[in-house]
C-alpha cells in the first residue's frame, strides 16, 4: 500500500525522524534551512502532509497556490501564528499543534531569564570574557534580590501556572496573575492573587513574565502606553511570542530605565534582532530556546507523528486547531 508523503521542513530529533520514516514516505530536511515561500508551495503541491515550524510562513497566498495536494499541516510547536488557520480551514486543510509537552522546560527557561536579568548575569559574563574584570569589589555589578518580591504573570495557562509554582515554592515570591479566563476560585487554588486589570498589574510588580499567545488581540499586548504604566525599575521576561510586546517601545523603556532589565527568548521579527536591542547591556537575550531540551523537542515531534497517524487512519486528531 502506498504510504502518505510527508514533507518535514526542518531537522527534527533523531527519534522523531526515525518514526516518520517508519510510518510514512517522509521527505526529511537535508540542510535544516527554511524552505521559503516557493519551497513551502512545492511541499504543499507534492505531499499529503507537511510538518511545519514557526519559521514557515504558511500564509493564505501560499495555501491557495495550485496545484495543492496536502490535506494536513502538522505544526511542530504549540504556537501556530505562522499559519493562516482560517484559510486552511476554508480549503479543507487540517491543522494540528503540539501542546502540553514543553511546559516544564519553558517554565525553567523563564526562571533562568528572570534570575539572569535580576543578577545582571550577561553583563558580568561579557565583562569576564572580555578581559575587563579587575576582581571582586563591594559595589560591582549589583543586581536585585528575587526572593520575596512580587511577580506578575500575564497569561495563566500551563506555562504561566508552572512559572508561578516555581516562583512561589522556590523563591517565596508573591504571584499576581492576569488572565482573561482565570476565575477567582482557580487563582485561589493556584496560590496566586488575581488581578483583573492588566494596567494595574503592570504598575504593582517587581517582575513581569509574559505567557500569552500571539493573536490579533495580543499583537501587541504590551503597547507603548502599557509599557509606560510599568512601575519604574521592574524587570520584564518574555518566553511567549515576540510580537506581544511593542519592541521599539521596550527598547526606549530599557534605555530610560523605566524597565530596569529584560530577559527575552522571543522577538518581534525573529531571527532579525534590532541592533539597538543587541547593544543594550540590560537586555538578556536568548535565541528562542525555551523548549530546547532533548525531552521536549522529542515529545513535540512524537506528538506531531501521533497527529499524522490519526489523520491518515481517519480518526479524530488529538490536537486539532483548524
pLDDT at res. 46 = 98
Q: Which domains does the chain have, with CATH numbers?
A: 5-101+294-312 (3.40.50.720), 103-133+142-285 (3.40.50.720)
Pairing of strands 150-154, 94-96: unpaired
State pLDDT tens for residues 126-149: 999 999 999 999 999 999 999 999
pLDDT at residue 216 is higher than 90: no
CA separation (Å) from 317 to 139, 231, 271, 310? Answer: 57, 45, 31, 5
Rounded to whole angstroms, the Cα distance separating 74 from 95 reads 6
pLDDT at res. 205 = 98
pLDDT at residue 155 is higher than 90: yes
pLDDT at res. 170 = 98
Query: What pTM was estimated for this model as a whole?
Result: 0.94
pLDDT at residue 193 is higher than 90: yes
pLDDT band at 215 (very low <50, low <70, confident <90, very high): confident
pLDDT band at 219 (very low <50, low <70, confident <90, very high): confident
Would you call 241 a catalytic residue per the annotation? yes
pLDDT at res. 217 = 76
Residue of 46, 104, 127, 270 marked active site: 270
Residue of 27, 119, 120, 288 marked active site: 288
pLDDT at res. 257 = 94
pLDDT at res. 211 = 97
Residue of 10, 161, 211, 241 marked active site: 241
Using the structure block, give the residue that is written with the C-alpha cell 492576569: 178
Non-local CB neighbours of 31 within 8 Å, separated by 6+ positions: none
State pLDDT tens for residues 223-263: 999 999 999 999 999 999 999 999 999 999 999 999 999 99
Between CA 215 and CA 55, with CA 44 as vertex, the angle to 5 degrees is 40
pLDDT at res. 196 = 96
Average pLDDT of the segment spanning 171-191 = 96
pLDDT band at 218 (very low <50, low <70, confident <90, very high): confident
Rounded to whole angstroms, the Cα distance separating 99 from 82 reads 16
State pLDDT tens for residues 63-107: 999 999 999 999 999 999 999 999 999 999 999 999 999 999 999
pLDDT at residue 209 is higher than 90: yes
pLDDT at res. 287 = 98
Average pLDDT of the segment spanning 296-315 = 98
| CA 79 to chain CA centroid, nearest Å | 7
Amino acid at each position: 500500500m502506498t504510504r502518505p508523503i510527508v514533507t518535514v521542513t526542518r531537522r527534527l530529533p533523531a527519534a522523531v525522524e526515525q518514526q516518520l520514516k517508519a510510518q510514512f514516505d517522509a521527505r526529511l530536511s537535508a540542510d535544516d534551512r527554511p524552505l521559503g515561500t516557493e519551497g513551502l508551495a512545492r511541499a504543499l503541491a507534492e505531499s499529503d502532509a507537511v510538518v511545519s515550524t514557526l519559521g514557515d510562513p504558511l500564509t493564505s497566498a501560499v495555501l491557495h497556490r495550485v496545484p495543492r495536494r496536502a490535506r494536513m499541516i502538522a505544526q511542530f510547536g504549540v504556537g501556530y501564528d505562522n499559519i493562516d488557520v482560517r484559510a486552511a480551514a476554508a480549503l479543507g486543510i487540517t491543522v494540528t499543534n503540539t501542546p502540553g509537552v514543553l511546559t516544564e522546560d519553558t517554565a525553567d527557561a523563564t526562571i533562568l531569564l528572570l534570575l539572569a536579568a535580576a543578577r545582571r548575569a550577561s553583563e558580568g559574563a561579557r565583562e569576564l570574557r572580555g578581559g575587563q574584570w579587575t576582581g571582586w569589589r563591594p559595589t560591582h555589578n549589583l543586581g536585585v534580590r528575587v526572593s520575596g518580591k512580587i511577580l506578575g504573570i500575564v497569561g495563566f495557562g500551563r506555562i504561566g501556572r508552572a512559572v508561578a509554582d516555581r516562583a512561589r515554592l522556590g523563591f517565596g515570591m508573591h504571584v499576581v496573575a492576569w488572565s482573561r479566563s482565570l476565575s477567582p476560585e482557580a487563582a485561589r487554588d493556584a496560590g496566586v492573587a488575581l488581578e483583573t486589570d492588566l494596567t494595574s498589574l503592570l504598575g504593582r510588580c517587581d517582575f513581569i513574565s509574559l505567557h500569552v499567545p500571539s493573536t490579533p488581540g495580543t499583537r501587541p499586548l504590551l503597547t507603548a502606553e502599557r509599557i509606560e504604566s510599568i512601575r519604574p525599575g521592574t524587570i520584564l521576561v518574555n518566553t511567549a511570542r515576540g510580537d506581544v510586546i511593542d519592541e521599539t517601545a521596550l527598547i526606549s523603556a530599557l534605555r530610560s530605565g523605566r524597565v530596569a532589565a529584560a530577559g527575552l527568548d522571543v522577538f518581534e521579527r525573529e531571527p532579525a534582532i534590532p541592533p539597538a536591542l543587541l547593544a543594550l547591556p540590560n537586555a538578556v537575550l536568548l535565541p528562542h530556546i525555551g523548549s530546547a531540551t532533548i525531552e521536549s523537542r522529542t515529545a513535540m515531534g512524537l506528538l506531531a507523528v501521533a497527529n499524522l497517524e490519526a489523520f491518515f487512519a481517519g480518526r479524530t486528531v488529538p490536537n486539532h486547531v483548524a
